[in-house]
Structure 1
Amino acid sequence: MTVKVSHTAEVQNLFKEASGLNNEQGSPRLKQLTLRIISDLAKIIEDLEVSDDEFWTAVDYFNRLGGRNEAGLLVAGLGLEHFLDLLQDAKDAQIGLSGGTPRTIEGPLYVAGAPLAEGQVRMDDGSEDGVATVMFLEGVVRDTDGQPVSGAVVDLWHANTLGNYSYFDKSQSDYNLRRRIVTDAEGRYRARSIVPSGYGCSPDGPTQECLDQLGRHGQRPAHIHFFISAPGHRHLTTQINLAGEQYLWDDFAYATRDGLIGDIQFIENAAAARDRGIDGSRFATLEFNFELQKAPAPVAEQRSARPRALQQV
């Protein structure tokens, strides 16, 4: 028979004290959240009969998770980041907001301050010339009335051919495969880059350790991340997963959504490659257009205040 004490006055008073509810200092919101979290954890411990060994194994796991900076990876892998998108979708539907390119997860690998440019920009530093397939990416940013949005900032980032991101991968140059592009008068953005690779969680990391215990893989399809912002329009956080990828609809991070599939085209044509300034005959093209909602309030023009990596100076 399971012994339950979390409902007793003694334990409830303990948790209120631990949450700071018996003093006037600190954050009332954090106190509210802390009380709910520790109370719910206590119920889980009781209801599922969590042993001391299981409890302290979990504590050790979270220590190791933080030590590897993988908390953001795990919340994506457990579907929690996707849940936040689904929750916001439901809130939008409730107040009648519709249209626009679907949102999807940001992931933990954004770095602020990428170079800002107008017109076509080259995103890669040339370090994978002869290995990577050159990719020409372009599209138009429009509003929900179909009108082009001039002066929008398309902030995009993606992995290299090894599935690694600059800043986190110290072998890459600063801001490799990261750029901010200002749309032209027709709302168009253009970039020359390379076809990114899909990738998986570090096989020796705590996120993959958890996924192994759940019987799940930790793989992602090749994809490109986007922040898109413009005055008067709602900030969009999204990404496009590339068509034809093995894990397109089996993304461990649950980022693939209808309307966010990039139909990449691979071309073998030496003359066309030469016209585009490419050695060899193979390159890829990808066109993807975005639609921005009008901002219901000024705060909606800004991305979330989620802590993110800052480029080292």
Structure 2
Amino acid sequence: MDTSFVKTDEVQRLLDRVVGAESDQGNPRLKAILRDLVESLMALIVCHDISEDEMWGAVSFLQAGAPEFGLLMPGVGLEHFLDLYMDAKDAEAGLTGGTPRTIEGPLYVEGAPLVENDADLSSDPDDTCTLYMTGRIIGPDNEPVENAIVHVWHANSKGFYSHFDPTSAQTPFNNRRRIKLGADGRYAFHSKMPNGYSVPPGGSADQLMIALGRHGNRPAHVHFFVEAPGYRHLTTQINFGDDPFAADDFAFGTREGLLPVPNRQGDSAYIAFDFRLQRAEDRHEQQISSRIRLEVA
């Protein structure tokens, strides 16, 4: 059977009933999106002759894997696809330049301490070298961006993030800060060097990667939000260019222009990196995207 079955009157009437097409109540945009989504899933079932057992197996996988949706989204490329789509829309609108955006990931925590420049991100001791990172926040005309706030977060040397550490060994907001900058747009911080990590062994993301013949590893990296009045909010991260998984990130977070190689000297490593922001056309572009994030009192 081919996918034309989905276009039969009986199936189309079912789709109309699913989204309440005959009712003037509800959200019209949601109705249109849900109708197309369900119809696409129906076509997928027919195209691949998906059995009842396979369908309910997928439902069981998603139900059991709900706590790891934040890993499954980047793992199947959907979070990276959103970046590609936003890039394409920017190019279509003639908006070019700026530091590349890339995935946020699921491990940001609201309410990190707001600190002055030249901050130490690490609250806990860690048997690794110290990372020193410096640079500028600049606008499209190389102007220094005034009064920016740089959100920084990364893992420790074991690949664990504070608030998500399975050993519960880290203090709150270890390797997490919001850095308040001045008029010159310069930033600086230091912290204990992060390491890469893999998805939780035996978890839903790991099971899916094994089924696909893939690994679940990420290279060492540092996450950033950059916000400033009058400029578009930037969500990005740097992956260390000398990490063995830099070119094979399971989460597809690696992007050209975001691969600095740390200058390693004994017990220290240095990265110089500038962030270039685009000007915002409205207040919405200055704001962080809406998603569920961990909040800590």
TM-score range, shorter chain: over 0.9
Aligned residue among 244, 247, 257 for 2:245: 247
Aligned ranges 1:271-290 → 2 under 5 Å = 282-290=267-275
Report Cα offsets for 1:27-60 as digits up to 9, x if no partner: 2222212111111111111111001111111010
User: Structure 2 CA distance, aligned partners of 1:4 and 1:288?
Assistant: 53
Q: Which residue of 2 aligns with 1:279?
A: none
**Alignment partner of 1:42 is 2:27:** no
Secondary structure at 1:262 match in 2: coil
Q: Which residue of 1 aligns with 2:18?
A: 18
Aligned ranges 1:1-313 → 2 under 5 Å = 5-66=5-66, 69-128=67-126, 131-169=127-165, 170-268=168-266, 282-311=267-296, 313=297
User: Structure 2 CA distance, aligned partners of 1:54 and 1:290?
Assistant: 46
User: Structure 2 CA distance, aligned partners of 1:114 and 1:310?
Assistant: 10
Report Cα offsets for 1:193-247 as digits up to 9, x if no partner: 0110001111211111111111111111000000001001111110000121000
User: Structure 2 CA distance, aligned partners of 1:165 and 1:262?
Assistant: 22
Contact 2:157 2:193 in 1 (8 A): yes
User: Structure 1 CA distance, aligned partners of 2:103 and 2:4?
Assistant: 39
Contact 2:197 2:219 in 1 (8 A): yes
User: Structure 1 CA distance, aligned partners of 2:32 and 2:2?
Assistant: 28
TM-fit CA distance, 1:295: 1.0
AA matched with 2:245 = Y
Q: Which residue of 2 aligns with 1:275?
A: none
Contact 1:152 1:182 in 2 (8 A): yes
Structure 2 length-normalised TM = 0.95
AA matched with 1:283 = S
Contact 2:144 2:184 in 1 (8 A): yes
- Structure 1 runs of 4+ aligned residues shifted over 4 Å read 1-4
Contact 2:124 2:171 in 1 (8 A): no
Number of aligned positions between the proteins? 295
Structure 1 length-normalised TM = 0.90
TM-fit CA distance, 1:2: 6.1
RMSD: 1.5
User: Structure 2 CA distance, aligned partners of 1:192 and 1:242?
Assistant: 15
Structure 1: give runs of 5+ residues left out of the alignment.
269-281
User: Structure 2 CA distance, aligned partners of 1:141 and 1:174?
Assistant: 27
112-121 or 230-239: which moved more? 112-121
The percentage of aligned residue pairs carrying the same residue is 44
